[in-house]
A and B are shown apart, each in its own frame.
Chain A
Amino acid sequence: MILIPLYALLIVYAVFLLACAGFFVVNVGNVVRSGTFTFASFLATFLFMAGVAVVVWFTWYTLQGVDWTQSIFSIGSANLTL
């Protein structure tokens, strides 16, 4: 019986954040390469980064007291429980 711990989701979340960071870097690269680094593109980039910072902070703040070692579900057991 294999137990899947809750922190496995944190790893998936971190991978997702890395993928988003990759997309963000490509987008910023497009702005720089197209010669359109103006106040509007700066503002959009700043607002996006601020929004992501707020969401990540809220996530961290809400999940502070969570015990990440508890298991979500187990593979191989008769019952699948959450």
Chain B
Amino acid sequence: MNLSECIRQKSYERIEHQVRRHLITLVPGFIIFLLLLALPLGVAWLLRAIFPGLETSGTLFPIIILFGSAYYIAVMLFFYSYFLDFYLDLLVVTNDRLIDMEQVGVFARRTSEVDLYKIQDITSEVKGVFASLFDYGDLLVQTAGAVERFIVTGIPHPDKLRQEILDMASEDRKYHQK
């Protein structure tokens, strides 16, 4: 399935932007991932220092290796899911609507959309040192539709995108007022 099928793209509709969260928002999770990877090495060093004959132990050694193996697989699966949670969150801006697709954990997915002409107001917010340095932030969209508020977090260049969406909304409104 491609994106066009996923958003049920209309014949007259063209995708203007596909926006994901800024890559820098992955960094905290990545640091935790590296720390979790390094943790067993420290524990192994400690165990070797406390129990010098550990590797020759008949039953304890395989138990530790199996546990360590399961731990590493769990950590990798956690980070893989974390990455997909980041990567599958997608804001699609077309010339007709905004579609916000959000992956919520592994087992839930939320998709909401709003017609551009229903957009009343958009606020972009860049808050914090890193957000200012790397120019990423949140976009809050007020609408007259069923979904009153759209909040998209951590996207790159929110101010530029706000302006572009406002321009497109204004164009779309002209078309719908005819």
Closest B residue, CB atoms, query A41: B87
Chain A contacts of B63 at CB under 8 A?
Answer: 6, 9, 72, 82
What number of residue pairs across chains A and B have CB atoms under 8 A from each other? 96
Contact (Cβ within 8 A) A9 B73: no
Please tell me the number of chain B residues within 8 Å of chain A, measured between CB atoms. 34
Chain A contacts of B80 at CB under 8 A?
Answer: 24, 27, 44-45, 48
Q: In chain B between 1 and 18, which residues have their CB closer than 8 angstroms to a CB of chain A?
A: 1-7
With A26-B106, A55-B73 known as contacts, the answer to whether A31 contacts B65 (CB < 8 A) is: no
Please tell me which one of the listed residues A30, A36, A56 contacts residue B69 in the complex, with CB atoms under 8 A apart.
A56
Please tell me which one of the listed residues A16, A30, A55, A59 contacts residue B109 in the complex, with CB atoms under 8 A apart.
A30
Please tell me which one of the listed residues A6, A16, A27 contacts residue B84 in the complex, with CB atoms under 8 A apart.
A27
Contact (Cβ within 8 A) A36 B66: no
Contact (Cβ within 8 A) A70 B58: yes
Q: What is the 8 Å Cβ interface bit string for chain B, positions 53-78, against chain A (1 contact, 0 not)?
A: 00000111111011001101110110
Chain B contacts of A16 at CB under 8 A?
Answer: 70, 73
Contact (Cβ within 8 A) B70 A13: yes
Closest A residue, CB atoms, query B80: A48
Please tell me which one of the listed residues A23, A52, A66 contacts residue B62 in the complex, with CB atoms under 8 A apart.
A66
Known: A30-B106, A35-B5, A51-B76. 7 other contacts (CB 8 A): A17-B73, A24-B80, A27-B80, A36-B90, A40-B87, A59-B69, A82-B63
Residues of A within 8 A of B (CB): 6, 9-10, 13, 16-17, 20, 23-24, 26-27, 30-36, 40-41, 44-45, 48, 51-52, 55-56, 58-59, 62-63, 66-68, 70-72, 82
